[in-house]
Structure 1
């Protein structure tokens, strides 16, 4: 295990950065104080909003923590260069998104709200957030949806920041290594929320790889520390990915149900609600593959959602917000990994301690079994 990585936290437990208000400072701080690596999610926030959360987190803990950024997205094929403002002008997004907007007309009526503007920005304030993180360095920065430039990674390294980049294939992991990142987050298909693919390729749907197989492939491809992510809910699973070559494990859904999590109460309850029996990868809510609990919205619109992120994310945002305020879990994006039924409603710090005990027990059982044989 890389000493530069292990020096950051006591237990090999990383709390995944979950955008949309889930990974709040209280959650990241509790995990950090318990010896794990807590993470803030800067996705969908302004640069100042991110900075304010960093300041709040530093008031909670003096231990290392991380901040996650979304990479800017390339222009959606078929998008126009912008609106002319004329009433009969073509919309500033692809025709497929326009068709999907018509598909959602019933949702607009049901929730008595309007669709969002698909042309609300593609870069998520990336440059402004980087500027903040270079002026006020944090211990760890991770990236989702692509690979930063070598210059960006080098600048963060010179600022004293450890960098991680998500990969969902061995080829993506190799691109991460070539760019100069310090470690790779290896994300298996079991993971909840958005797959961190570097390019959304609809032709590759269904070809995503499970975590243990992907870990083996990546381990033979790159020479960097690996952080395993995807469906991990128990310490025994963490012990398994450590044995498979990972330096640490990143858990999202496991922390989603904690009282410190900023997830909506309906989202937390849905994890173990027998009404939601399985998860599925879908573009229904955002235009990018993301794993969530199968509800009415996902079933009705998933088959028709185009590969258009973040246009679809912006488009459906008011619907999702209205569903949440209306108490309607059937219209919310209930992101969850495949192990969601194993969620435990424990305080975050207590969950880290329980997971650490389970890791130790799994390792001891393995040693005992080896000695017995």
Structure 2
């Protein structure tokens, strides 16, 4: 049996990516789980109470295993050195009719609180991005029979995850949408940029835990090829963004369905960390301003009100339109069941 399937107790080797920011609705996560794949709650920015509430809603819709995705880094941060960036962002705020930016910002972290919730709620699988959890948290989760999945963008990161005790590693190729999982953005300012097939081959040959492929995947032919290479499964985000069960707003959906393959770029303007998004006016104007971006999560906190207003007003030019390089091939909304059926194709070696 596929060792990944055995470890996480699912039937189909597909992971729905843990996309933070309200995309992974209980309906989306439960539909993926009920279909036999691994649904994931994107909890990176959630408080402990918000996460507990979401888990309970998912449990009302499915009794199958689910995963929760966390950031492995602390979000605790504050800054008063905002002037230049706030002046740039205030131009957007005036246009959107929202309050001007403040002189200080503080971000709270809820990681340890969320881990306690995961244990209380008996979540079976936890995935992480941006690094490796502390040894104390890993031990706590392992002692409560939690399987750990970590995202890696190069072999060194994958080996760190394996050595720390992670059970599965996701190989995130350069074409993936949303944030690059790269651990050290000082060393790799734009994120480690290895293509998916080269990365999968490198990991399969050099680590012993199951490897999951992620980044631009949207067809059954791709999944079959990656499994033939030795991957134990695939993880998808962009295609699930247009699932009927997803929390993607209308203007974002329309941007995804209209985008061409060449319309995405890796940018730090929204959050301070490199992430792949559909190019829009916000990306172009902030990048061309010449003002230094602030670090994550300060930049993310500063742009939050603009992105929220863009969502509320249906203005895609002011939103973070995360998308992978496969977006150009996605031309219609589908249910989760239709998406997974299409990815599995006629079965073959895809499903054990």
Q: TM-score, normalised by structure 2?
A: 0.91
Does the aligned pair in 2 maintain the 1:232–1:251 contact within 8 Å? yes
Count the aligned residue pairs.
346
Q: Counterpart of 1:326?
A: 313
- Out of 289, 293, 308, the residue aligned to residue 295 of structure 2 is 308
Change beyond 3 A, Cα 1:275–1:244 = closer
Change beyond 3 A, Cα 1:3–1:108 = closer
In structure 2, C-alpha distance between the alignment counterparts of 1:152 and 1:185, rounded to whole Å: 20
Offset of residue 3 of structure 1: 5.5
- Out of 304, 322, 333, the residue aligned to residue 317 of structure 1 is 304
Offset of residue 203 of structure 1: 5.1
- Out of 112, 122, 133, the residue aligned to residue 137 of structure 1 is 122
Greater radius of gyration (CA): 1
Offset of residue 201 of structure 1: 2.2
CA deviations 1:249-308 (Å, max 9, x no partner) are 000001100110001111111112158951000011111101000011011113545250
Once the two structures are superposed, the pairs formed by residues 226-305 of structure 1 within 5 Å of their partners are 226-273=211-258, 278-303=263-288, 304=291
SS across alignment from 2:105: coil
Asked whether 1:175 is paired with 2:160, we answer yes
CA deviations 1:2-50 (Å, max 9, x no partner) are 1564652111111111111001110011111111111111122111111
SS across alignment from 1:142: strand
- Out of 72, 89, 106, the residue aligned to residue 120 of structure 1 is 106
Runs of 5+ in structure 2 lacking a partner?
A: none
In structure 1, C-alpha distance between the alignment counterparts of 2:74 and 2:103, rounded to whole Å: 17
Change beyond 3 A, Cα 1:23–1:3 = closer
- Out of 92, 110, 132, the residue aligned to residue 147 of structure 1 is 132
Offset of residue 119 of structure 1: 2.9
Q: Counterpart of 2:199?
A: 214
Does the aligned pair in 1 maintain the 2:260–2:327 contact within 8 Å? no
Change beyond 3 A, Cα 1:258–1:117 = farther
Offset of residue 131 of structure 1: 1.1
Q: Counterpart of 1:371?
A: none
CA deviations 1:32-73 (Å, max 9, x no partner) are 111111111112211111111111111101111100111234
